[in-house]
Amino acid sequence: MPGTSSTATLASARIVRRRDYTNDLFVIWLQPDIEFPFVAGQYVTIGAGGIERPYSIVSAPYEPLIELFIEYVLPEHGGKLTPLLYAQHVGDVVTMRPKAKGRFTRRPEVSNHVMVSTVTGIAPSMSMIRQFVHERENGAPAPERTRFFVMQGASHCDEFVYDEELRALGARYPDLLVYVPSVSRPADQRNAAWTGPSGRINTLIDDHLRDWRLPKEETLVYLCGNPGMIDDAVARLRPNGWNTLAEQYWRP
């Protein structure tokens, strides 16, 4: 989705919390100056210095702050907004569009939600899962057969920013959530302590779908993140009868 420098119809949001996980991955929490309703899985468009980009929202609609998981892309590698966001601190203000958008949302008509992502592409999955768990824990009616199968790929294991949360949910609700992270560079020194799966996540989908024995008519594969991963996964899945829903990430 193209960025824009228009200043029409803008709200603002204050950064109230920030956490850096690696030298290029960080999370910020925003307090908008307006009411900001959204559906889990949608994105918000924020800006700084007159440059805007859309970011999938990590937080669920019930949470008070807007949580965003951002990768810092150097200017020489094409980064436009992320260098400006990386320089922001708690207390700084960014612009935001007043309306959430996007159709990458949970489809309740299927039972099995296979969510495949790369690094920051985990964001909309986290929002959907958090909202579903919140509603379930607060008595909202939900299909008993609903399950989430979360597959996340990254070059390095320290890029799995939400792995502890996902593992905890999987341990608490083993019949609801399965989490499969995989590193694509297992020989890299940053992965020296990694003992989990390895390989590009798109190459592992077929085997896991087979192992999980999911009925195709009751399953949707959500794909979010690197466009190359998405294109390859779609090419593998659709000819074999799997339904997919994709969200490609935009310019940095």
Residues 6+ apart with CB under 8 A from 138: none
7-11, 46-50, 202-206: range with lowest mean pLDDT: 7-11
Q: Are residues 201 and 120 in the same domain?
A: yes
Q: Which of 52, 213, 175, 66 is nearest to 126 (CA)?
A: 66
Residues of the chain with pLDDT > 90, as a percent, come to 91
Residue 4 lies in a domain: no
Q: What is the DSSP string of 158-194?
A: GG-TTHHHHHHHHHH-TTTEEEEEEES-TTSGGGTT-
CA distance 85 to 80: 9
Q: 232 and 151 share a domain? A: yes
Model pTM score: 0.94
Q: Is 3 part of any domain? A: no
Count of domains forming the chain: 2
Which of 48, 67, 96 finishes a domain? 96
Q: Is residue 163 part of a domain?
A: yes
User: Is 80 in the same domain as 136?
Assistant: no
Domain span at residue 24 reads 11-96
**Backbone φ/ψ region at 14: left (φ over 0), alpha (ψ -120 to 50), beta:** beta
Same-domain status, 58 and 129: no
